[in-house]
Structure formats: structure tokens, C-alpha cells
Copies of this chain bind each other. A is one copy, B any other.
Amino acid sequence: MSHPIPTLQDVIAARPHVYRYLKPTPLHHYPTLCHLLGADIWIKHENHQPVGAFKVRGGLNLAANLDSSVRRAGLFTASTGNHGQSIAFAARAHGIQATIAVPEGANPGKVAAMKGLGGEVIFHGSDFDTAREWIMAKAEEAGGYFVGPTDEPLIHGVGTYALEILEDLPDVDTIIVPVGAGSGVCGTAIVAKGINSGIEVIGAQSAQAPAMQKSWQSGKMVTARMKTFAEGVATRIPFENTQRIMRKYLDDFILVDDDEIKKAIVLLLQHTHNLAEGAGAIALATAVKNRDKLAGKKVVLVLSGGNIALEQLRQVLGEHG
């Protein structure tokens, strides 16, 4: 039970595994966004990663640390989105087979992306939970490794982006991170607080999927209704291990409405010319909503991921462009 919480050292140890395949992502300053928000706004472009999301760092660290019998048997996971692409990318980089279960009717674009990365995609069951339970059993049967969304090697790997932030902007005041299962915000908090406890780390989530926020706030594991359009943060059941880290380190955890997230997608298009999916725009939506508290501060917004579908983009532009 008193399993130790990951440390800065774990993240530093992940760096060579990440940089063997990836370049650091840029931290860009956007003057017109600064003007709009009255703060010094920097964006950490994890959407520039090969699969459009920070998660690929975690997958690479995990794959680098497998023992040879597991390597032979392969990686197994369930995903309808960026997690699955990350595992497929990392597995291919390491010459390992990745098998990814998706529910029937999964988004064809994302399935094609996972297949394109060499992943074997299996349709199973009518919802995500069914697909996941099925692939977990398959993994055990095969002697392979089932990759859950908050496995510790993933947290260590994704923390490397936070080290890059602190190298590029050592005097950052506040970092705002979207929260789905929590690996990103935990990696960020471990690094930021490990280096300078004065750095404020804020988690952000859709008010239409508040399970992680309500759990953090109450100190209990709270399942909540989930109906956000932002699939990257569409968590219905909270994760224990990331909650534990978040309770220790997080300064605040803010909810923003889907409608505010959609407006932020449009602001990112206008001011940064970057495409964000819902999850990727949550940090900016949070900054807009908390403009007064951030005034004059150096603020980093983590943009991850970028994988919005064309139909969704057209819809957002129709509603808010």
C-alpha cells in the first residue's frame, strides 16, 4: 500500500529512452495571447509529437524497460485514442508487437492511425470497458504486458516534457495541464515540485467529465457522469495511483465547460495556428476563465493532444468561429 510515489530521479532516468526516438518539443511565446490574457503566456507544444500527444514519451519509456520474455510476448492495451497510438509507436520503435483492443464502431481514423503504426487492432465488445477486460485476459494468456493508462513508467516518461519546460523557462510561475487519467499532470507535478516547490501546478478537466476533479477535491474515489466531447479527458472512473500523487502535489484542479473548451480551440487556431483536440485546448480555456488570478504571471499551458477529427473541427468552427 505504501508503494513509493515516483520521483524526479525516475523522470531523469526516463530521458535517454525518450530522446532516443523523440526531439524536445518547443515552448513558444505568443504575444497576442499574452495581450488577450494579461499574462505572460507560453505554450508547451506536445501536439508536435509524432502521434500528436505527450503520451508517446511514456510509451517509449515503458517499452525500453521490459524484460525479454515480455518483449517476446508483446504489449497489449485498450484504447480508442492517443494512448493506443502511443503504445503502437513505442512498440514499433522497439520491435515489439502491440495488440490494441477497441470497441466495435471505434473511430475509423484512429484505428487507421494505430494500424499504420504497425499495431494489431482487434474490435471486441460494444464498449470500452468490455474491450479492456477482454484484452487484459488476452495479455495474461500470452504472458505479455497489459499497459494501463496510468502505469508508472508512463508517468516517468511523460515527466520529461516538464523538465524541458523548466530548462526553457526556469522562472515559470504556473503550469496548467489537462487531466484525463492523470499521467501528464503527475509527471509535471513531480518534476516542478521536485525542482521548485513554489511553482504552481494546476490540473484542468472538462466539467462534463469531473470524476478526477471530484475525487481530488473530496479525497475519495468518486465516479462521475461523463459526457464531454473531449475524448482525451473523458474519464468516468478515477485512477487511484494518480490521485495519490495529485493529492500530494497539485495546487488546484479547475473545471471548464465544454463550451469554453471549444472557444479555446478557436483561440488556438487564431493566435497560434495550431490544431488542438478538446483535451489540448483545456489549459487555455482554464487560463481564460481564471484570467484575474493569472494576471502578470509567467504561465505555461500544456497543449496535448492535437488529434481533432475533421467533422469535429467543422462543428467547433460552426459554433464558435
Contact = CB atoms under 8 A, between A and B. Distances in A.
Interface in A263-310: 266, 269-270, 273-275, 277, 306-308, 310
Contacts of A274: 275, 306
Contacts of A35: 116
Contact of A32 (B30, B112, B307): B112
Interface stretch (A20-28, A65-73, A174-182): A20-28
Interface stretch (A47-55, A217-225, A233-241, A254-262): A47-55
A321 interface: yes
B28 A26 contact: no
A199 interface: no
A270 B275 CA distance: 11
A53 to B, nearest CB: 10
Interface string A3-45: 0000000000000000000011010111110110000000001
Nearest to A277: B273
Interface of A: 23-24, 26, 28-32, 34-35, 45, 47-48, 50, 52, 109, 112-113, 115-118, 266, 269-270, 273-275, 277, 306-308, 310, 313-314, 317, 321
Contact of A116 (B26, B31, B317): B31
Nearest to A317: B314
A112 B34 CA distance: 12
B52 A273 contact: yes
A46 to B, nearest CB: 12
A269 to B, nearest CB: 6
A310 B28 contact: no
A23 B26 CA distance: 7
What are the nearest 3 A-B pairs in CB distance? A31-B116, A273-B306, A32-B116
A26 B47 CA distance: 12
How many copies, total? 2
Nearest to A168: B23
A120 to B, nearest CB: 14
Given A32-B113, A47-B273, A273-B275, 19 more contacts: A23-B23, A23-B26, A26-B48, A31-B113, A31-B118, A32-B112, A32-B116, A35-B116, A45-B48, A52-B273, A266-B310, A269-B310, A269-B313, A273-B277, A273-B306, A273-B308, A274-B306, A313-B317, A314-B317
B50 A48 contact: no
A117 B31 contact: yes
Contact of A275 (B23, B28, B275): B275
A269 B273 contact: no
A113 B35 CA distance: 11
A26 B46 CA distance: 12
A28 B274 CA distance: 16
A4 to B, nearest CB: 34
B50 A29 contact: yes
Contact of A321 (B273, B275, B310, B321): B310
A314 B321 contact: yes
Given A45-B48, A50-B29, A270 B109 contact: yes
A37 to B, nearest CB: 13
